[in-house]
Amino acid sequence: MDITKLLRGRTVVDVFAIGIAVLSVAVGVSAMSADSAEAESTAASASLENQTTFAPAPVAKSETATSGVAITPEGGTELWSGPEQDPYFRIHEGMALGFTHRQDDWLFVTTNCNDTAWVRADDVTIVAPGKQQALGNGFDVSEAVVVLDAGHGDRDWGGVGPSGLSEKSVNLDIANRVSILMKSGHDVDWATGAVTAGSTVSAFRDVVVTRSVDGPNDGDFEANLTYRASLATAAAADAFVSIHNNTVPRIDTDIPGSEVFYSTAVDGSDRLAGIIYEELLLSLGAFEADWSGGELLGARARLNPDTEEDYYGLLRRATVPSVIVEGVYISEPDEEALLETEAFRQAYAEAVYRGVVRFLTTDDAGAEPNRPEYFYDDAGTVSGSVCVVPEQP
C-alpha cells in the first residue's frame, strides 16, 4: 500500500501525522503495502536491539533436519541464543514461528521481525509440515495445511476508508473468519455459495494465521514480509492466501472490482487466484454498491521490469501456491460501508474458503488469469528497522 492509498478519502490527515510525505502516486493495490518490507531490515527489533542473530548449528548425526511452525502457548515462550545457553527474551503467546532446523529438543525459529532464535520443542505447539498431496479428486482435506496472512498490522495500517475504517483491522477479522471456517467441517452449495455446518468438506488439519487474534494486541502487530512468506515455506503449506482490501480505483464497474494477485514463481498460483476470484464474484456480487475497479480485474500478476520477478515481495518469496486477495475498495464510501458489516466480511471469508477447497479438491481451472504485466509505479515501503518482537507481559 503506497502512501497515496493510505491518504485517499480521508478528511483528517493529521490523525496519521507521523511525518510521512504525501506522494502523488496512484498505485491501485493495497497489498502493495504487503510489499512494504522491501525496506525490511535484518537488524534486531527494538526490544531485541542488543541481541544477535544466530546461525543454526551444524547438523550432527543425532539431529533430525526438519521444518514446521511453532505456536507459542499461553504465557509465552523463552527465546534462547543457542541450545543449552541462556534465555534472553520471552516472546508473546499466540505467535507463529517458522522453524527450519531442529537440534534434538531445540527448534531454530524466525520471529515476526525476521530475527532468529532457538526455542525448546517442549515449550511450544508444533505444526508439522504438510504432506504436499497431489491436487484434485482424492485430495484429503483433513491433511491440508494452509497459511492465512492478515495483511498489514500495527504501524503499517494499510488503507483507511472515508469514515476511518482501518484496512489492517478488517483484514485481520476476515482472515480469522476464514480460519474458523477451515477448522471445522462444512457442506457447500456450490451453485449459491452457501456454507453450512456439515461433513462434506472436513476440517483442515492445520491453519496458521500470520497475525492471529490469539497473539499480542489481539493480532494487531507488525509482521515482516520475509517472516510471512517463511511461515508458508516452513509449514510446506498447500496454499498461502494473503487477505487485503484495495484503494485508488481507476474505473466504475458493474461488478465487484476484486483482484487476486498470483505468484509467477510457483506453479498453480494462477489457478488458485482464478478460482478465488470466481468465488469472490459469487459472494460479493450478491451485495449492492456503486462498485469500483482497476484497469484489470480478476487474476493478475505484476513483474518488476528490471528483474522480471514478481513485483510484490510476498509473492516473490513464495515457495508454495500463493496469492494476495484484494477484495473491494475500502477507499470508496459504498464499499467501506459494506466492509463495516458482519454479513459482508463473512461473505468475503466464505468466498476464500470455497476457493481454497476447490483449488485443493477439484481440477477446476478457474477464471482465466491475466498475463503478467510490468509494473512501473512505486508501491511504497515501510521500514522494518524498528519492527518490535512482542514481549510477554
Query: Does residue 28 carry a pLDDT above 50?
Result: no
Q: What is the pLDDT of residues 326-350, one digit of tens each?
A: 999 999 999 999 999 999 999 999 9
Closest-CA residue to 70 (of 134, 122, 26): 122
Task: Measure the CA–CA gap between 279 and 309, rounded to whole angstroms.
Answer: 28
pLDDT of residue 12: 35
**pLDDT for residue 380:** 56
Return d(Cα 109, Cα 56) in angstroms, integer: 10
Q: How many CA atoms lie within 13 A of 214 on its CB side?
A: 15
Question: How buried is residue 380: exposed, middle or buried, by Cβ count under 10 Å (0-12/13-18/19+)?
Answer: buried
Give 174-205 pLDDT, tens digit per residue: 999 999 999 999 999 999 999 999 999 999 99
pLDDT bin (cut points 50, 70, 90) of residue 320 is very high
Over range 94-104, report the average pLDDT.
95
Cα 48 from Cα 293, distance rounded (Å): 42
Task: Return the number of other C-beta atoms located less than 10 Å from residue 287's C-beta.
Answer: 16
The structural domains of the chain, ordered by start, are: 3-40+131-374 (3.40.630.40), 46-127 (2.30.30.170)
- Alpha-carbon torsion angle 260, 262, 268, 272, nearest 10: -10
Which strand ranges, in their side-by-side order, compose the sheet holding 77-80? 87-91, 77-80, 116-120, 106-110, 96-103, 68-71, 125-127
Q: How confident is the model at residue 376 (pLDDT cuts 50, 70, 90)?
A: confident
Backbone angles phi, psi at 344, to 5 degrees: -70, -40
95 burial class (0-12, 13-18, 19+ CB within 10 angstroms)?
buried
Question: What is the per-residue pLDDT across 271-297, written as a single tens digit (0 to 9) for each?
Answer: 999 999 999 999 999 999 999 999 899
Q: For all residues of the chain together, what is the average pLDDT?
A: 86
Helices and strands in the chain: count of H runs, count of E runs: 7, 19
State the pLDDT at residue 384. 56
Q: Average pLDDT of 59-79? A: 75
